[in-house]
Every structure is written in structure tokens, then in C-alpha cells.
Amino acid sequence: MDAMDQSPSTPPPGWLEPAPPASPAPEPASDPFGRDQRPWWRRAGAGVLAALAFVLAKLKTLLLLLPKLKVLTTSGSMLVSIAAYSLIWGWRFAIGFVVLLFVHEMGHVIQLRREGVQASAPVFIPFLGAAVWAKSLGGNALAEARVGLAGPVLGTIGAALCIPIAIVTGSDMWRALAFTGFFLNLFNLLPVVPLDGGRAFAAMAPWMWFAGFFGIIVLVFVWPNPIIVLIALLAGYELYRRWQQLRSGDEATREYYKVSRGQRLLVGAVYFGLVALLVMGMDGTHVARTFADT
């Protein structure tokens, strides 16, 4: 027999056939569209961490720029408001109108700082006016009344200054600006929070908030517009919140609204004196005006 035919057909005893080599783990199939195949929670976590790292990296720069950003917020919002009002009244009247708003709001800012409260610079909101942010309105209702009345006091002075300019120049635009300033300050003296008149009545007679709220509701139906509706919603919320505080009998609340008779009379004299001056100012500066005028 040929030697090549002598290989046994079965392996000898004890023979172990070698195991086949382990095949490498299959690589994950690549997405033909290039999409990330990681679980969604890992992708989301990576995104959050990346965003957080970006914010932290920029935080130092933002803190350094914060004082400048406050100035830019005021001046930028003024420019936006001027541009918005220019579409209705023309740019000259729009500038004067925004300046009158600025004077009114600075009355609040000055008085807040006199009360020892840090206040922001005015921020202008087109077709809604302007606002000042502060952590509080003072330590009690009397301080709140002073802060509330300071805006119309300075605003009335600003509007009155338009009258001599109107006389010297003979321009009806300045008379119209004076009238508009008087009207805005008078409207703000409605006895309802968050308007300035509501803050004055916090020291005089908080129950008058109900009369003011009723007046705002009447305006919603007689002269409906988004601004009046917004004021009515804010007034309703503030009336409910404050009246609940007063009914609770909390000692801190009682202390807040504790105002002497003499102080109430003084606040009332300033309030009703302002109302009388503003009504007379509107009567003396009324000008028939159309939107076509510039």
C-alpha cells in the first residue's frame, strides 16, 4: 500500500482538534446618512455638556460687559420705540414722546434710589410705554406712594416744559407733545395697581383699588385695545393678591400699610393736586391733530 494512503481515517485517541480562530467582533454598520448611532441619552448629555462649557467660557466676558449692556438696553430700546412710533406720528413727534416717557420713568428711578432701593434704568417697550425694575417699592405703603407719585410729578414738569417751547416756536407739535404728556400722566393716576395712582392709594385708601379696577373694566368694553386689556389683567391679579394679604391679618402686612392720618392727607393733596394740574394742562394744550400731520 502506498505510504500516502496510510493516514488513518479517524484521529488517534486523545487527539483534540484545534478550535477555529475567533472571528473579530463585527463593526457597527455605518449610517449611510452620517447620523450619530449613540443612544439618545448619550447624545443629549453630550449636547448639554457642550452648551454648558460654552456658557461658562463666555460668562467672564458677559460679566465684564454687563454695565455696558444696561446702557445699551436703555438706549437700544429707546431707538426701537422711536422707530415704532415714527410709523404713526413721524420721527420728530416720536422722539419727543419717548423723551417724555423717559422723564416720567426717571422720576420713579430717582425716588427709588432715595428710598435706598436699587433700580434699573428705564427699558422701553414699543406701544406699551416703559418700565423700571426694582426688588421692592420701599419699606412701606408711604414709600410706595412716594415712588408712584414721583413719576407723574416729574412727568408733569417735563410735559409743561413743552409749552414755552411751543410759544416761542409757534409749533403745534410742541403743544401736542405737552397734551400727550399730560394725558399719559393723568392716565397713570388711575387708582389701580400697577398704575401709579394705585400705588398712591396704597397709602391713602386701598379699598379704592376696587373702584379703579371697575373703571378699567369699563374701559375694556368702551375703548377696547390690547394695552387696556393687559392693564386689566395685571390689575385683577394684583387686586386679588394684595387684598388676600390684607385679609390675612399678617403682622408684616399691617405694618406695611400703617400710615398716619397726616401722611394720608399729604399724599392725597399731592395726588389730587396733580390730577387738577393735568386736567388744566390738557385743556390748555389741546390741538386738533390728524395722523397725517408731522
Residue 126: inside a domain, yes or no? yes
Residue 118: inside a domain, yes or no? yes
Residue 103: inside a domain, yes or no? yes
Residue 130: inside a domain, yes or no? yes
Q: Which residues in the chain land under pLDDT 70? A: 1-73, 288-294
CB 168 within 8 A of CB 214: no
> What is the predicted pLDDT for the residue at 257?
87
> Which residue reads 414699543 in cell numbers?
126
Distance CA 184, CA 155 (A): 9
- Count of structural domains within the chain: 1
Nearest 5°: phi and psi at 124?
Answer: -100, 135
In 3D, which of 162, 127, 109, 151 has the Cα closest to residue 281? 162
> What is the predicted pLDDT for the residue at 7?
42
Residue 255: inside a domain, yes or no? yes
Residue 79: inside a domain, yes or no? yes
Domain that holds residue 77: 39-285
Residue 30: inside a domain, yes or no? no
Residue 14: inside a domain, yes or no? no
In 3D, which of 207, 210, 209, 158 has the Cα closest to residue 181? 158
Residue 131, H or E segment: strand 129-131
- Each residue's pLDDT tens digit, 190-230: 999 889 999 999 999 888 999 999 999 998 898 888 888 88
- Each residue's pLDDT tens digit, 9-31: 444 444 444 445 545 555 555 54
> What is the predicted pLDDT for the residue at 183?
95
pTM: 0.70
* Number of other residues whose CB lies within 10 A of the CB of residue 173: 20
